[in-house]
Chains A and B, each alone.
Chain A
Amino acid sequence: MDDKIPAWLDVIVLPLMSLMIAFFVTGLIVLSIGANPFSVAQAMIEGAILRPSGLGYTLYYTTTYILTGLAVAVAFHAAMFNIGGEGQAMVAGVGVAIAALALDSTHWMITLPVAMILSMVFGAFWALLPAYLQAKRGSHIVITTIMMNFIASAVVGYIVIYVLRDNVAGANETRRFLEGAHIPRASDMLSWIGIDGYSKSVPMNITFFVALIAAVAVYYLIWRTRLGYEIRAFGLSSSAAQYAGTSPVKIIIIAMLISGALAGLMANNSVMGEQVKLGLNPVNGAGFIGIAVALMGRNHPVGIVLAAFLFGVLVQGGAELSFSYPAVSRDIVDVIKGLVILFVGALDNMLRIPMEHWWINRQKAKMA
């Protein structure tokens, strides 16, 4: 008899139950600051999903979180914890800015592919050093990627302030990209299919589809290719994989390069899609949220897309909440995010173990 719970319980029922608990605790907190939890929930859902412009913002955040979540997941399948998505995406932002500044007098169809390639190369490059140190020297990837985040921040700060900065404006950012680096936003894409009038300021853009394609590609890579098989085998037991002829150096480096490239892709969304310039803060913690997204999504692309959407809803809904309810500060929104991560990610076993017991007992009862 199989003593595992079936997939539908594992992937759908368990996370939903954890989410319910998280929302219940959140409701108590909202109640304690004197707001009505139901109207707060309504304002969040209304602002993040039901209102068309709000949904655009939600999908903009979702794009970012899908890519940083996939980055963490790929490394995780090779049993590595890539905490460096933040730094990899930041350095990739410089790649995007270089492509955009060089090509923005042409057309986005030229700029976007070049920017995507550069962002992936820059992101992968930033993951290469920790990967090499892990593979050849055994320096722990968690430590080295965290350190690389700080170096990335310093390097990007230097490049933006002393190399790419637009001295006329005085702010610490590049000049605004010209028309040729304006990738299509939701309003443009909707007008292609005949729907006009959607707000041009909503930052959701074509990289949303890039993120979805990346999710499919990661699924294919991990579960349908030989390399993916090697990555998973290495992740489950490095000694067994090595015994079977897999080179640990190769797997560690390749998995980290893919991870860095995925994190790097995220920069296209924020730098070209939203800001249309490179400032000092192109990533703003999304690399770290990617860890929570991957954790919640069980390192599976479908789970990651759903978890990324949930975090998108929390960020955008949280902003709407702060507009409508002055008592709900941005810190409360952070608390909500934290509770979701706590219950769905970290306290997963709290529900899983009783659920497994219940399932096994039920199966036994059936057999008897």
Chain B
Amino acid sequence: MKLKASLLGAVALSTMATMAFADPALIYDMGGKFDKSFNEGAYTGAEAYKEASDGDYRDFEISEEAQREQAVRRFAEEGNNPIIATGFAYSSILDAVSQEFPDLTFVTIDGWVEQPNVLNVGFKEDQGSYLMGIFAAMASKSGTIGFVGGMDIPLIQKFACGYVQGAKSVNPDIKVIQNMTGTTASAWNDPAKGAELTKAEIDQGADVIFHVAGGTGVGVLQAAADAGVLGIGVDSNQNGLHPGSVLTSMLKRADIAVEKAMTEAAAGTLEAGVWSLGLEDGGVDYAMDDNNKDLVTPEMIAAVDAAKAAIIAGEVEVHDYMSDNACPVM
């Protein structure tokens, strides 16, 4: 391995211009490859690239904080290109390592790095959540809807803020009950507590509940289905978890980002910069399939598609919580 790295280094020095890069590399966040959510989305995208291009890729799951830099550096030393890391926690590491390997392209998904060879991929979760708010407000009979977040961090507030804005655009008097599961990382994986919070929200009158809580959401959707009210899934299409009880899901397409980055890199057209994937490019969206087609009325689709078009056209501006750490409607 060491030999290979130094050989690659020598090649890089001698034939900088025509250097053939090694396969793309993908590094997951602490949640791991099969988190049924964001990291798994990235994995799905990489698999799709492999399928479509008969190229290959390498990946790595960290288990210690110190392995973040170790993994990025290791793949960089072996010439893997591009090097994609999921999660904002890689930002400062990519910032440092990208300067040492100016010929490689680095991709941060959800992070932010200002370097000439780093591509920043972000998602407009506020826009996707806005659509969920419209769905929820239109499906609610009680005039009260719910939100269950995972860990109380600004990113989740961004979802919540978009959701409330969307709901209020339909019904200015709507009541939105919000709960965060916890303040530790275990809040992402506590289905029992998710179910408790959901029951409490239902007791207060909520009849549609949107979760942004990772593994905790399994309990949220379960409790909603048990109580005969509607849940809304997140990140990947969760409509099929409880057919007939999940109104829709807010898709955050890490797979699109990863596949696109790997494919463009293979074609040599990948450029550093910023991809902000919103409704416009399918980076966030709502999920329709056989499981929820009887729950969603044509009026809802019409309203949501109208809002979607208005957001894309810039006629409706969704406030992004993370732009000023505040939400005007809450």
Shortest beta-carbon distance from B272 to chain A in Å? 18
Contact A281 B30 (CB under 8 A): yes
List the A side residues contacting B183 at CB < 8 Å: 153-154, 157-158
Count how many chain A residues have C-beta atoms less than 8 Å from C-beta atoms of the other chain.
39
List the B side residues contacting A153 at CB < 8 Å: 183-186
Contact B92 A277 (CB under 8 A): yes
- Asked if B172 lies at the interface with its beta carbon under 8 angstroms from chain A, I say no
Cα distance A167–B325 when bound, in Å? 9
> In the complex, which of the residues A170, A201, A315 contacts B69, with contact meaning CB atoms closer than 8 Å?
A201
- Asked if A169 lies at the interface with its beta carbon under 8 angstroms from chain B, I say yes
* Interface hit among A77-85, A301-309, A326-334, A357-365: A326-334
- Asked if B141 lies at the interface with its beta carbon under 8 angstroms from chain A, I say no
Shortest beta-carbon distance from A285 to chain B in Å? 9
- Asked if B315 lies at the interface with its beta carbon under 8 angstroms from chain A, I say no
Contact B154 A57 (CB under 8 A): no
Cα distance A171–B322 when bound, in Å? 11
Contact mask for chain B residues 68-101; partner A; CB cutoff 8 A; 1 contact, 0 none? 0111011000000000000011011000000000
List the B side residues contacting A173 at CB < 8 Å: 89, 92
Instruction: Provide the main secondary structure of the chain B interface.
Output: mixed
Contact A170 B184 (CB under 8 A): no
* Interface hit among A134-142, A206-214, A316-324: A316-324
Task: Tell me whether A170 and B112 are in contact in the complex, defined as CB-CB below 8 angstroms, given that A157-B151, A157-B183, A279-B65 are known contacts.
Answer: yes
Contact A333 B63 (CB under 8 A): yes
Q: Which residue from chain B places its CB closest to the CB of A274 in the assembled complex?
A: B66
Count how many chain B residues have C-beta atoms less than 8 Å from C-beta atoms of the other chain.
37
- Asked if A150 lies at the interface with its beta carbon under 8 angstroms from chain B, I say yes
Which of A161, A277, A319, A324 counts the most chain B CB atoms within 10 A? A319
- Asked if B293 lies at the interface with its beta carbon under 8 angstroms from chain A, I say no
Contact mask for chain B residues 43-66; partner A; CB cutoff 8 A; 1 contact, 0 none? 000000000000000111111111
Cα distance A167–B138 when bound, in Å? 36
Task: Tell me whether A323 and B91 are in contact in the complex, defined as CB-CB below 8 angstroms, given that A171-B111, A201-B69, A281-B65 are known contacts.
Answer: no
Shortest beta-carbon distance from B152 to chain A in Å? 8
- Asked if A106 lies at the interface with its beta carbon under 8 angstroms from chain B, I say no
- The chain A residues found within 8 Å of chain B, CB to CB, are 51, 57, 60-61, 150, 153-154, 157-158, 161, 167, 169-173, 176, 201, 203, 270, 274-275, 277, 279-282, 284, 315, 318-319, 322-324, 326, 329-330, 333-334
- The chain B residues found within 8 Å of chain A, CB to CB, are 1-2, 30, 32-33, 58-67, 69-71, 73-74, 88-89, 91-92, 111-112, 151-154, 182-186, 322, 325
